[in-house]
Structure formats: structure tokens, C-alpha cells
Amino acid sequence: MAYFGVTPSNVFGQGSKDSFNGDGSTTAFTLSRSVLLATDIEVFVGNVRQEPNVAYTVSGTTLTFTGTPASGTGNIYAVHQATSHGTLVPPTGTAGAFTTVTATGNITSSGTIEPAGDTAAGDNAAIGFTSTEGLILTGQGSTNDVTIKNDADADVIEIPTGTTNVTVAGNLGVGGTAVANTDTDTSNTGNVTLDFGANQNFVLTLTGNTTLVNPSTEQVGQSGFIVCIQDGTGSRTLSLGTDYETAGGAGITLTSTASATDIIPYVVAAAGRILLGAPQLAFS
């Protein structure tokens, strides 16, 4: 026959009974099967039915009395109700290990949400939240720790495993100002190695004749500027390692005046090839 609403389940579980012997001191007993709610079983002591959540509570397979049952042989028993097996909708606030959970409202977690099989300590793949950091998304993958996909299942944002690098598959729109890290070193003399992995731009105050030695952290396509500021003495020179290339191999000649400021643009064309543009001299 036809039904209005949800069709009743036609698969049922069988009821069962657990019996225990009271000893006048034990309050916790182990049931033969797991119980979700205290009202899912009927508990009797000396043939007197006990009130759920008042006289006893349940947690999985553990039946715990709030008082101490008297001594007796088989004087305690619990009757498991015969239940139908269908879609389980857990009551609000109910904890449990579920294979699939469908929620029509909010899901609240007091800790992190972690995938099955993640047993690593301290580096779990999880979604969490703290009042100081907000949303926290961590992961462990063979290629990417974190991958964000679009509705066509294409990778949009990737964070490779073990790094802080972020790869964006498409165009990146910035609604505000994008500011790259800038190294502001106020004392440069002798050999200086620029860290292109940590900084995009460099503002160097020259306190002596300086040589930019070959770096190892440049990335192809990286570009920015190098600002050279003469100290109060002036006449500091800038020499270049072989990885730094200038048009016609002319090198860089800075303004010699004390406190003068020059700007040198650069672009990384390949590993070991940092191309320097013509310096803009004597800003004032």
C-alpha cells in the first residue's frame, strides 16, 4: 500500500535481556550491546523498573546506577527494546561514532574535526578553530598538505607538503594592497648575500664598499628592486657576483654623494641569472 511521508522501515532488530548479580557495592555493569540513550533499555532492580537518567545512565555498553543496587542473584536486568533499522538521525547533543552524518542545521565541535586514519601526533589533518587564530586548516598529504578545489573538482589553491608556499591555479585578485617582504638592512659592507626566498625587495644602507655575492634562493620570475643608500660618509661602491648581470656587462655605478639614494630594478630570468636594470640615481 502507499504511504504518506516516510515509508516505514521493514527491517527490525531483535530485543534481548542482560542479567546481573548485585553485590551491594558495584554500580557499573557491562551490557551485551551498545546503547545510545538511557531510554533505549528498560532496567529493573528486584523487579522494580528504574527511571532512565535518574536511577541510571548509559554510555555505550556501560550501565551505571546512581545508587548502589542490593545484593541478589539475577536481581538486576536490562531489557533491550526491539528497534527498527533505518536512517539514524541523532538527537541534538548526542555523541557517537557514525559512518555518515547528514545535518540540516549547524554541526558544532568542541575540538577539531579529523579524518579517519590520521593517527600522527601533533600534525593531524584537521579543521579547527581558536579565538586567537580563527579557522585552522591543516593537512598531511603526499603532494599537498592542503588542496582547495572548485565545483568542477579542479585544484584552485595548493599548499605543498612541508612548505609554506601557496600555488594559485588562476588569476589572483587583491581587493586591497599587496605588500611583499622587504629587507631593510642598515649596515652593509664587504660580502652581502641577499635572501630572495625571504624577501622581494631590499633597502640597503652602505656603510662600506659592498659586494653582492651569488645567492641560492632566487626564484624564476621573481622581480623587485634594490635600494642603495649611501651612509653619512658616501662614496661606497657596489660590486656584483657573477649571478648578477647588467646590460653590456657594465656593472653598477652608484651616486657617491653622502646619504644619496639609488634604485636598481631586477628580475630573475633563470637560476643563477638575476638581471639588473639601469639604476635610477640620486633621489631627493
Do 217 and 279 lie in one domain? The reply is yes
Q: Which of 68, 63, 88 is nearest to 78 (CA)?
A: 63
Measured between alpha carbons, how far is 260 from 234 in angstroms, rounded to an integer? Answer: 8
Do 229 and 139 lie in one domain? The reply is no
Do 208 and 272 lie in one domain? The reply is yes
User: Would you say residue 177 lies in a domain?
Assistant: no
What does pTM read for this prediction?
0.57
Q: Which amino acid is residue 247, in one-letter code? A: A
Give 44-98 pLDDT, tens digit per residue. Answer: 999 999 999 999 999 999 999 999 999 999 999 999 876 544 555 556 666 666 7
* Range name among 12-21, 181-190, 202-211, 272-281 with the lowest pLDDT average: 12-21
- Return the C-alpha cell found at 187: 649596515
Which residues span the domain enclosing 52? 16-80
Phi-psi category of 250—alpha, beta or left, where left has phi over 0 and alpha has psi -120 to 50? alpha
* Number of structural domains in the chain: 3
Do 130 and 63 lie in one domain? The reply is no
How far is C-alpha 183 from the chain's CA centre? 29
> Can you give the pLDDT at residue 108?
74
Asked if residue 242 has pLDDT above 80, the reply is yes
Do 246 and 214 lie in one domain? The reply is yes
> Can you give the pLDDT at residue 136?
83
Do 279 and 254 lie in one domain? The reply is yes
Do 189 and 278 lie in one domain? The reply is yes
Across the chain, mean pLDDT equals 87
Do 216 and 155 lie in one domain? The reply is no
Confidence of residue 123 (pLDDT cuts 50, 70, 90): low
Do 277 and 199 lie in one domain? The reply is yes
Q: What percent of the chain has pLDDT over 90?
A: 60
Do 163 and 191 lie in one domain? The reply is no
Do 203 and 252 lie in one domain? The reply is yes
Distances (CA, A) of 58 to 12, 83, 220: 22, 17, 63
Give 11-51 pLDDT, tens digit per residue. Answer: 555 678 999 999 999 999 999 988 889 998 999 999 999 99
